[in-house]
Amino acid sequence: MSMPTEHHAERVQEKADAVGAIENTLATIEGQRREPDLWEREFLRQAIGWLFRGGYRSAAVNAELALTPHNQRSPLTNIRPDPLLDRCDIALLRSAFQESTAQPVREFPHLGPIHFEPNRR
């Protein structure tokens, strides 16, 4: 089943916007020559996960939330330390992001599991 042209064009633009937002967030952190903090890692993880799933608008929102200044972040966050999040350094996030951008545009968001294994060298 192919997507109607107008719907497909909208989805292509949504994905491009999400990719741009995530790239901007990663580049901002890389430009500061540091690793992302817990807040940034969590929102970037969510953004990249949404990009894999085709939830492009949610991906863009999460990428922008990652850059929330410290003094504007909720003091009552529900982000908890997690061994997986501890491993999400800028290199792993960049690798997952590159893999997610290579995925074809999804007609609709996919809400099932996403399996990502970073390239082993």
pLDDT at 110: 87
pLDDT tens digits, 92-110: 999 999 999 999 999 999 8
All structural domains of the chain with their residue ranges: 5-101
Sign of CA dihedral 49, 55, 60, 66: negative
The span from the CA of 101 to the CA of 103, in Å, is 5
This prediction's pTM: 0.86
66 and 25 Cβ atoms separated by less than 8 Å: yes
Tens of pLDDT, residue by residue over 7-60, are 999 999 999 999 999 999 999 999 999 999 999 999 999 999 999 999 999 999
